[in-house]
Structure formats: C-alpha cells, structure tokens
Amino acid sequence: MFELASDSSGEPVQPLWEGKLEWEGDKEKVTVRNAGGKEFKEEAVVKEVDRKTSVEKMLQKLWQTPTQIIGDRSEIALIGHRIVHGGPKLSQPTIVTSQVKQAISDVSLIAPLHNVAGIQGIELAEKLFPKHPQIAVFDTGFHRTLPKYAAVYPGPYHWFERGIRRYGFHGINHEYCLHRAAHILKREITSLKIISCHLGNGCSLAAISGGKSVDTTMGFTPLDGLMMGTRGGSIDPGILIHLMRVDGIGPKDLDDILNHDSGLLGISGISSDMRTVLTAAGKGNERAKLAFNIFVHRLQSGIAAMAASLGGVDVIVFTAGIGENSAEVRGAACAKLMFLGVELDQANNSSARPDVDIATQNSAVRVLVIRAQEDWSIARECVRLS
C-alpha cells in the first residue's frame, strides 16, 4: 500500500506496508512488513493452493489483528491491479468495468496462468471494496509502440490479422527502468538507447529508443525469448511438432512442459531458483553449470540482438530478482559485450546495491542495476487516473 500525492513524480517512495504470499510444496508462507519494519509472518500447510482464498484470508486476518500492522482498511482509496496480458484491445491503464473484465478474460487463453489470477484479484478486491475504483495496468502496454516488423511473426499474414503477434511483457518494469535510468544519468529520455534486462522468475529484454519500446524478447505469450526459471524461452517449434508426432503429446502436456518443467529447473533438475543453481554449480554439479551457461549464453545473444535493433546502445539495465542480486550473472553476461563498448567495474558489480551504475568510468555503455518497482509504478498510474 502506498500513500501518494496527486502530483507525485520522479523518486519512488516506500510502501506503507507490503504483503507476500509464497508456496513451496504444501507450505504456504505469508509475510507482511510495514514501513516501520514491523513484520507479521505465518506458515501453514495447505492441501491445494487457492490463491484467491489465501489472499482474502491474509487481508482479513491482518485487518482484524490487534497489532494492526497495516493500519485501517478505510484508508484505502484506490486499488491497482497488474494484468499481464492486455491482448489486442487493452494497452493503456484503465478503470475496470465489466467490458474491461471481459476483455481480460478473453485473452486468458493466451496467458492462462497470469490472466486468470488477475481476474481473481479484481473479483476479490471488488468483494472487499465494492465502492472503490479498481484500475488495471497492463504488462503488454509499454510494447504497443513496437514497429510492425518487430511485432508480426513471419507465419501466414492472417495470424497477425487474428491477433497472433508479438505483444511483449514486463512492460510496467521496463518503462519504470527507462525513467529511472534517465533520472540517474541526468539525461533526456529521448536521447537514450536502452536495453532493459528484466531477469526474475520470468525474464525478458526490451530495446528502448527515445522512450519507446522498439523490440522485446517475449512474444505472443510470456514463453518466448530468454531462458527463465521454469520456462525455456525460444526453442525450435519443430521440437513441438516432433513431440506431438512421436510421443502423441497434447496441448495440456505441452503447456506443462513449456511453462513448468523447462528452463533452469528443466536443465539443472534441481531448482528454478538461480541461487540454488549457482550454489550447486559452485559445488561442481555439471547440469547446474550447464543451466547457468545456457542462461548466460542466451542473455548475451539477446542483448546483442537488442543492440542491433537499436543501432547501438547507451545503457544496459539489470533489474528484477536475478538482475538486481546476481553479480555472477551480470558479470558473465557482460564479459562478452566488450565489442559493444561495455566495461564492468568488477568491484562495483560485486558490491552493487540498487540503484547504482556498475560500469567503469571509461565504459562507452553505462550499466545500471535498478530495483524493480512495479507496485509503485501501478500506484502512480492509479493516482494519475483518479
């Protein structure tokens, strides 16, 4: 929860409180922290994960608790929702109406995991706050400026006509990083060519020129592009035809393999978490080493491709869980980018605390580590629309 003035701009502010729900096996962990550092933590065993019920329980409990660490629910004026896929109809932040909800549901077939959760969040908020405006902000929105040659897949043209095109994701954070980078470097947004590397559980790159997204690695769905925690990113589509023909695999199993059994987890066989993969690689686990090497190789190729789309690069931004925290990934990714003029200050990379510049003074390209601030960006959009 954020308290923002109507003219708030520039610097992100700390939330008054934030809550996190995590699931690991049959355990459900709740962590809520307020601005004063007071924490509420709870762990429970759950038979089956039901995110909507869990979020509702968490909020009800926190508002009833005598410690009141998150204040009173009457303080809440507006509710913002991160919606992953806006599809062909929704790109700008918008007040949620029944038509908007329908349009979000319509694209659930393309991003089933994400958009179904988004609709559940909206319905829960409508139940808890029936009189409050709900605002939807779309991860695809920032990429609406992609030139047609970057957005259209070279299949039959009628794919594009029926909405099968590159949409791109993580736009809320890519856009935030663009503004933050310009602010840190004291440069005009219009003068910068930026490659934003969002490396978290999901990973994507955005090529940003003059403040506009001109290329990105995720596509029609968040499966495309870089290697991720449990998603493999771009693979030869012929593999899918082969699996369907030879193993008789259907869409449900393909979906599971591509969304849940691939990426760092699929290759290492250990974990989707880069920290665990790095620890295992450090102890000599060959498959963990391979997972790391594929991740870095694809990241390097992706950055070089984005630089080509931009015709050069002034700034590379590393953001999200891996981008903000892993000096190993940043160091390895930049090691082969000297030809672009990238030179990392190794000491600054190792000790980086976002937001910070980790390039040497002589580097032709600035390399920034920027903390993802999606919640704050969404809160600002809410204030702007209210």
Give the residue numbers marked as catalytic: 139
Minimum separation from the CB atom of position 84 to ligand AMP (A): 13
**Which of 84, 207, 320, 344 is in the footprint of ligand AMP by CB under 6 A?**
320
* Strand order across the beta sheet in which 27-34 lies: 17-24, 27-34, 39-45
Minimum separation from the CB atom of position 278 to ligand AMP (A): 6
Q: Using CB under 6 A, which of the segments 163-171, 177-185, 273-281, 350-358 binds ligand AMP?
A: 273-281
CB nearer ligand AMP, residue 38 or residue 275: 275
**Which of 106, 253, 273, 375 is in the footprint of ligand AMP by CB under 6 A?**
273
Q: Using CB under 6 A, which of the segments 37-45, 292-300, 319-327, 341-349 binds ligand AMP?
A: 319-327
- Nearest residue to ligand AMP on Cβ basis: 321
270: exposed, middle or buried (Cβ count in 10 Å: 0-12, 13-18, 19+): middle
Query: Which residues lie closer than 8 Å to 369 by C-beta, 6 or more apart?
Result: 317, 318, 319, 323, 324, 330, 352, 354, 355, 356, 358
- 354 phi and psi angles, rounded to 5 deg: -60, 145
Minimum separation from the CB atom of position 66 to ligand AMP (A): 31
367 binds ligand AMP (CB under 6 A): no
- 318 phi and psi angles, rounded to 5 deg: -105, 130
Minimum separation from the CB atom of position 170 to ligand AMP (A): 10
322 binds ligand AMP (CB under 6 A): yes
CB nearer ligand AMP, residue 269 or residue 312: 269
Nearest to 359 by CA among 301, 323, 317: 317
Minimum separation from the CB atom of position 198 to ligand AMP (A): 8
CB nearer ligand AMP, residue 105 or residue 201: 201
What CA–CA distance (Å, rounded) separates 242 from 297? 25
Helix (H) or strand (E) holding 201: none
Alpha helices in 65-134 (DSSP H): 98-106, 112-128
Q: Using CB under 6 A, which of the segments 95-103, 164-172, 207-215, 272-280 binds ligand AMP?
A: 272-280
What CA–CA distance (Å, rounded) separates 137 from 86? 9
27 half-sphere exposure, CB direction, 13 A CA radius: 7
Query: Which residues lie closer than 8 Å to 92 by C-beta, 6 or more apart?
Result: 138, 141
Minimum separation from the CB atom of position 18 to ligand AMP (A): 13
Amino acid identity, position 244: M
CB nearer ligand AMP, residue 192 or residue 226: 226
Q: How many residues bind ligand AMP (CB under 6 A)?
A: 11
What CA–CA distance (Å, rounded) separates 259 from 252? 10
CB nearer ligand AMP, residue 320 or residue 379: 320
Minimum separation from the CB atom of position 102 to ligand AMP (A): 29
274 binds ligand AMP (CB under 6 A): yes
282 half-sphere exposure, CB direction, 13 A CA radius: 7
229 binds ligand AMP (CB under 6 A): yes
171 binds ligand AMP (CB under 6 A): no
DSSP lists the bridge partners of residue 251 as none
Q: Using CB under 6 A, which of the segments 44-52, 86-94, 123-131, 268-276 binds ligand AMP?
A: 268-276
Q: Which residues from 200-219 bind ligand AMP, rule CB under 6 A?
A: 200-201
**Which of 321, 344, 366, 367 is in the footprint of ligand AMP by CB under 6 A?**
321
Q: Answer for the pair 180, 192: CB distance below 8 angstroms, yes or no.
A: no
Instruction: Give the binding site for ligand AMP (CB under 6 A).
Output: 200-201, 229, 273-275, 320-322, 325-326
